[in-house]
């Protein structure tokens, strides 16, 4: 009923937002005159109305060229090199013909599409050939493909790493840091020749017992049965994934926005002011962010509930009780993969210390193979995107990868 009610509202409000989009386009053309400020104000209002809605389709990556670390501009090609019903492995290749190390960027499965990492990808492409886990929206996956749980997530990372080949480098952002560490551990335990040369874990919940955030406290404030009863919906019959139990993306986004309600409200007010005052560049930047932020995807209920249970409530990984297909996961088995952990000083989702915990778990690595970076002045999003990511965090990641080659 919850999902049907949401979809019914979304279907009814879509024509209103479409009308607002068309009106905004027309009024913006008319408002180019310096005497047309009322029209510009009306266009800015319609723009807000048009933006105030969610989309469930992945936006394009739209990465056509990058400037390399050498200062050369090179074209980028994008292709799907491996796919399952739940994920596509997307490869971004520089066309300057220079051989480059291969990086697997593991995108979060936490309510947004992999395109949220567009800036991260563009930065990595300065020096590397980049592969990205492009997770599919659960509401578009037919039930006959089965469920997607933590084992499936870890298996995908193992399969993708083996497809890329030996001496690759894995970079995991936020929620998938647990699965990434598990996958590398499983490969190490099996003495797999395709173990990554390096692993970078960025702002992830390796051990949420350390400095719990509001997100962590919510996950432990209720029994698992409450999450199953209150937060799990069923995909409506009109969609390809009809009948699949999911954690709806609109609930995840609502939870994220509720943590910073005033900041988001201010952003919308600022966008309106910038548009009315003719500062189109700043207005466009805010609009582009929210167009991406409001593109949401549903998570398979099995994966969501297992994550709540094992990562946030039972702390299975740091306590040595996380399993993969019934077998214990042992990070201490990692001997060959260099480890870097990255955290943000002002991260209110994964607090300082939660990702660092991976250092102690990987006690089979020699000290020179492990490093940590805590970035002052950044929150969760700033760890992997923005000015400080590009100028201060990425050089650390690049040096880490280079040291493992």
> 43 pLDDT exceeds 80?
no
CATH of domain 65-219+299-404: 3.40.50.1820
Measured distance CA(252)–CA(107) in Å, rounded: 16
Classify 164 as helix, strand or coil.
helix
Q: Which of 23-32, 83-92, 266-275, 317-326 has the lowest mean pLDDT?
A: 23-32
The DSSP element (H or E) to which 105 belongs, if any, is strand 102-106
Percentage of the chain lying above the pLDDT 90 cut: 68
Measured distance CA(128)–CA(241) in Å, rounded: 36
Mean pLDDT of 8-35: 50
Give residue for tokens 């607002």. Answer: 20
Look up residue 47 and give its two tokens: 């723009």
In sequence order, the 6+-apart residues with CB closer than 8 A to the CB of 78 are 61, 63, 90, 91, 92
Q: Are strands 73-83 and 65-67 parallel, antiparallel or unpaired?
A: antiparallel
Q: Which of 107-121, 262-276, 301-315 has the lowest mean pLDDT?
A: 262-276
Domain spans in the chain, listed from the N-terminal domain onward: 2-53+249-293, 65-219+299-404
Please report the pLDDT score of residue 285 as a whole number: 83
Please report the pLDDT score of residue 18 as a whole number: 54
Measured distance CA(208)–CA(221) in Å, rounded: 13
Please report the pLDDT score of residue 70 as a whole number: 85
Tell me whether residue 97 is exposed, middle or buried, using C-beta atoms within 10 angstroms of its C-beta: 0 to 12, 13 to 18, 19 or more: exposed
Mean pLDDT of 192-207: 98
Q: Which of 162-171, 262-271, 372-381 has the lowest mean pLDDT?
A: 262-271
Q: What is the pLDDT of residues 110-155, one digit of tens each?
A: 888 999 999 999 999 999 999 999 999 999 999 999 999 999 999 9
Measured distance CA(129)–CA(63) in Å, rounded: 13
DSSP per-residue string spanning 49-78:
HHHSS-B-SPPP----EEE-TTS-EEEEEE
> 202 pLDDT exceeds 60?
yes
Mean pLDDT of 239-260: 82
Measured distance CA(296)–CA(235) in Å, rounded: 14
Q: What is the pLDDT of residues 341-399, one digit of tens each?
A: 999 999 999 999 999 999 999 999 999 999 999 999 999 999 999 999 999 999 999 99
């Amino acid at each position: 009923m919850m999902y049907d009610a949401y979809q019914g509202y979304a279907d009814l409000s879509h024509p209103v937002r479409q009308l607002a989009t068309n009106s905004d386009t027309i009024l913006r053309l008319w408002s180019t005159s310096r005497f047309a400020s009322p029209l510009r104000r009306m266009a800015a209002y319609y723009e807000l109305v048009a933006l105030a809605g969610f989309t469930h389709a992945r936006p394009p990556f739209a990465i056509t060229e990058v400037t390399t670390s050498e200062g050369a501009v090179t074209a980028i090609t994008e292709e799907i090199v491996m796919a399952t019903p739940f994920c596509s492995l997307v490869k971004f290749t520089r066309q300057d013909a220079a051989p480059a190390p291969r990086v697997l960027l593991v995108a979060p499965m936490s309510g947004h599409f992999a395109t949220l990492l567009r800036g991260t990808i563009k930065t990595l492409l300065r020096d590397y050939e980049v592969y990205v886990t492009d997770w599919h929206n659960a509401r578009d996956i037919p039930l006959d493909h089965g469920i997607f749980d933590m084992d499936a997530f870890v298996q995908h990372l193992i399969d993708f790493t083996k497809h890329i080949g030996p001496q690759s480098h894995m970079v995991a952002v936020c929620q998938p840091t647990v699965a990434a560490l598990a996958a590398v551990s499983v490969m190490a335990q099996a003495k797999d020749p395709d173990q990554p040369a390096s692993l970078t874990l960025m702002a992830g919940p390796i051990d949420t017992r350390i400095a719990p955030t509001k997100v962590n406290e919510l996950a432990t404030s209720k029994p698992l049965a409450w999450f199953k009863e209150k937060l799990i919906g069923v995909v409506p019959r009109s969609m390809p994934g009809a009948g699949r139990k999911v954690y709806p993306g609109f609930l995840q986004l609502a939870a994220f926005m509720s943590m910073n309600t005033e900041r988001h409200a201010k952003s919308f007010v600022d966008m309106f002011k910038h548009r009315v005052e003719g500062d189109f560049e700043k207005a466009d930047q805010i609009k582009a962010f929210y167009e991406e932020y409001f593109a949401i995807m549903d998570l398979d209920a099995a994966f969501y509930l297992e994550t709540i249970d094992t990562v946030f409530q039972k702390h299975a990984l740091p306590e040595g009780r996380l399993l993969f297909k019934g077998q214990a996961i042992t990070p201490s088995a990692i001997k060959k993969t260099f480890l870097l952990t990255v955290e943000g000083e002002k991260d209110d989702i994964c607090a300082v210390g939660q990702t660092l915990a991976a250092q102690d778990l990987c006690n089979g690595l020699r000290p020179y193979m492990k490093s940590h970076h805590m970035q002052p002045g950044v929150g969760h999003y700033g760890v992997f995107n923005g000015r400080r990511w590009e100028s201060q965090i990425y050089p650390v990641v690049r040096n880490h990868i280079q040291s493992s080659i």
